[in-house]
Each structure stands twice: as structure tokens, then as C-alpha cells.
Amino acid sequence: MSRSKPILILSAVLALSGCGGPGPDADIPEAEEAEETSKDIGEHVVHFSAQSTDQVSADIARAYDIVRSKNRAMLIVSVVGKSSGETVPAAIDVRATNLTGQLKNVAIRRVDDQEAIYYIGETPVANRETLIFDLDITPEGMPSSFAVRFKRQFYTD
């Protein structure tokens, strides 16, 4: 018994030593870049995010009238003034399409949370559906709008 234990341990060590990963000549894939979450638009920075609404806590969903579901996507946008560092009001138009070109209705609404301003919109999504969000943003007091485009894939299963 005592003699078989060291042999068993040595066998395990030798077997695991072959699990050291790819050799020096192996092709190692590049990591994908992190998805963009903000864009500089001159005097302002736009912060944006999209996620399934089931990731929102029940308390937050109740407070902001968000329908929690793994089959609903939520878009969150805020516009921050560079000089003040504070969120500013903005006119925001959203156009969302999936990869087949189907237009998704995203009605965006303003949420005032203490001293911060957010814009929230929701739309149904299917498993592995990728949405392309085209935002047209005009910060209050600015003479023209700015375009922001990003895409996100949603997993519902």
C-alpha cells in the first residue's frame, strides 16, 4: 500500500506536466478588445451600456419601472460635460437594428436620479441576437447632434 502511493503520485505529476499549455510555436488567438462604453463628442462624453434587464436588481427595476426579463434588453445612456464632470440634459434619438436589418423599437425616456440624468430604453431580444445601436445625441445648448454607434450581443438561454 505504502509503495503504491508514491507511484500513484509520480504518475499524476507526470500526467499533469503534459498539461502545461501550448508549445512555443503554437498559434495563440488574440483576445478580443473590450467593447466600447463611451465616446468623446467634443465638449461632452457619452457613456452607454446595454444589458438584459434580468441583470437589474428587483429594487432598481421597481424604482425605475423596468421590466425584468432575460428576453429584454435595456439601453442606458448618459451625457457628461467635460468641464463640469456632471451629467447634462440631451435630446437622444435611438435606432436599433439586428444583424438581419430588423428594426427594434426602443422608446427612450429620461430618468433623473438625484443630481444625475440617465436615459433608459428597453426592447425585446432573442438568444444570441446582436443589436446595433445608432444614437443621435444633441447635448442641451449645442447647435448640432453627434452620432454614436455600438453593438451588443445578448444571451437569453
Residue 132 has pLDDT above 70, yes or no: yes
pLDDT tens per residue across span 147-157: 999 999 999 98
Per-residue pLDDT tens over the stretch 10-53: 555 445 555 555 666 766 666 556 678 999 999 999 999 999 99
Q: What percent of the chain clears pLDDT 70, i.e. is strictly above it?
A: 79
Domains of the chain: residue spans and CATH:
35-154 (2.60.40.3340)
140 HSE (CA, 13 A, CB side): 10
Q: Are 110 and 119 in contact (CB under 8 A)?
A: yes
Task: Give pTM, 2 decimals.
Answer: 0.77
The distance of Cα 102 from the centroid of its chain, to the nearest Å, equals: 20
